């Protein structure tokens, strides 16, 4: 078991410019956005003028919440992260359509899949991505050569993910885009006898399926994990769980995945996902963004931060 922090550094099309006092200031391509972040409990580094000069600001009031945008900001614009292209389209839920802290997980997924395919010319890697949102993990797996089934309960999110696939030049990859409730889909896959090399899930704390099915993580996560165990192939490759607003520890997710070690061997890594501020050095300030736990049979990189 390894416990560490996966840190996303500033890159050409994305940077965390500053954070603090309940907000973060980010650059997506050439546009700077300012939005709330409850983890940013510290003082800001940059001046008020830099914050006030943001091209877009997410604002809350008694009437609701929405973005104020400068007239120069388009409705959507293109960026590239880790070789994958995304349409940025700020939403009324304060999201932008991509989670940059996931870059490390995308690299991990790509390395796992690429190694399996290179080491076994007859291998057929099939991945199930539950709660797939706008497709970051799906496209990373497809780019590495896997067949992917992408499940989400939002028609809008699936359409967005398909647009990202086209933008990234991955529209012709063997990917199925399915609007469905994650639990209902997995139960049908069990009946069909389908098996997967890898499973990814990014479950929300609360939500609804496409037909109004209620999802509460405290009630529904463990039963979903249990049935997912029934659709893993005899020599599975990985199982990745991400967590955001549910308030759980990475240790809890590690404990959920422990039966995989008992059955298949391998190892579990867990920890936090974070983003380093652009002006910070290697020991500089990082913003915590979520947790993860991931089981694998063998990690080909063999490079970990302990």
DSSP 153: S
Please name the residues in contact with 146: beta carbons below 8 A apart, sequence gap of 6 or more. Answer: 113, 125, 126, 127, 197, 198
Q: Say if CB 39 and CB 289 are below 8 A apart.
A: yes
Instruction: Specify the long-range contacts of residues 206-211, CB closer than 8 Å, at least 24 apart.
Output: 207/153, 208/153, 209/153, 209/180, 209/181, 209/182, 209/183, 209/184, 210/153, 210/154, 210/155, 210/179, 210/180, 210/181, 211/181
Per-domain residue ranges for the chain? Answer: 8-88, 100-296
* 100-296 is classed CATH 3.40.50.150: yes
Distance (Å, whole) CA 56 – CA 70 = 6
**Max CA pair span of the chain:** 59
Distance (Å, whole) CA 32 – CA 53 = 8
* Domain 8-88, CATH: 2.60.40.1180
Of how many residues is the chain composed? 306
How crowded is the C-beta side of 259, counted as CA atoms within 13 Å? 9
Q: Say if CB 33 and CB 125 are below 8 A apart.
A: no
The answer to whether the 8-88 and 100-296 domains have the same CATH topology is no
Distance (Å, whole) CA 144 – CA 20 = 37
What does each C-alpha distance from 145 to 12, 117, 142 come to in angstroms? 25, 8, 5
Q: What is the residue-level pLDDT of the chain in tens, covering all 306 positions?
A: 677 899 999 999 999 999 999 999 999 999 999 999 999 999 999 999 999 999 999 998 887 889 999 999 999 999 999 999 999 999 988 999 999 999 999 999 999 999 999 988 778 999 999 999 999 999 999 999 999 999 999 999 999 999 999 999 999 999 999 999 999 999 999 999 999 999 999 998 888 888 888 888 888 899 999 999 999 999 999 999 999 866 789 999 999 999 999 999 999 999 999 999 997 556 679 999 999 999 998 777 654 443
């Amino acid at each position: 078991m390894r416990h560490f922090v996966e840190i996303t550094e500033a890159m050409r099309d994305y940077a965390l410019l500053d954070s603090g006092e309940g907000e973060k200031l980010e650059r997506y391509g050439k546009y700077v956005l300012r939005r709330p972040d409850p983890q940013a409990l510290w003082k800001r580094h940059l001046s008020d003028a830099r914050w006030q000069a943001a091209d877009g600001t997410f604002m809350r009031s008694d009437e609701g919440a929405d973005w104020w945008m400068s007239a120069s900001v388009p409705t959507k614009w293109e960026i590239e992260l880790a070789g994958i292209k995304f349409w940025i389209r700020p939403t009324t839920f304060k999201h932008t359509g991509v989670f940059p802290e996931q870059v490390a997980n995308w690299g991990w997924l790509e390395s796992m899949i690429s190694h399996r395919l290179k080491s076994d010319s007859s291998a057929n890697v099939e991945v199930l991505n539950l709660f797939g949102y706008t497709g970051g993990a799906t496209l990373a797996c497809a780019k590495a050569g896997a067949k992917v089934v992408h499940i989400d309960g939002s028609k809008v999110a699936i359409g967005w993910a398909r647009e990202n696939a086209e933008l990234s030049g991955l529209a012709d990859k063997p990917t199925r885009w399915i609007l469905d409730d994650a639990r209902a889909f997995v139960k049908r896959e069990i009946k069909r006898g389908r098996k997967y090399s890898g499973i990814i899930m990014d479950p929300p704390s609360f939500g609804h399926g496409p037909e109004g099915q209620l999802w509460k993580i405290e009630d529904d996560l463990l039963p979903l994990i249990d049935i997912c165990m029934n659709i893993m192939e005899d020599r599975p490759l990985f199982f990745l769980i991400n967590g955001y607003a549910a308030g759980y520890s990475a240790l809890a997710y590690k404990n959920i995945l422990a039966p995989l070690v008992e059955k298949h061997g391998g190892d579990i890594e867990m920890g936090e996902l974070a983003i380093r501020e652009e002006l910070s050095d290697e020991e500089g300030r990082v913003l915590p963004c979520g947790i993860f736990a991931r089981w694998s049979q063998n990690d080909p990189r063999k490079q970990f931060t302990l």
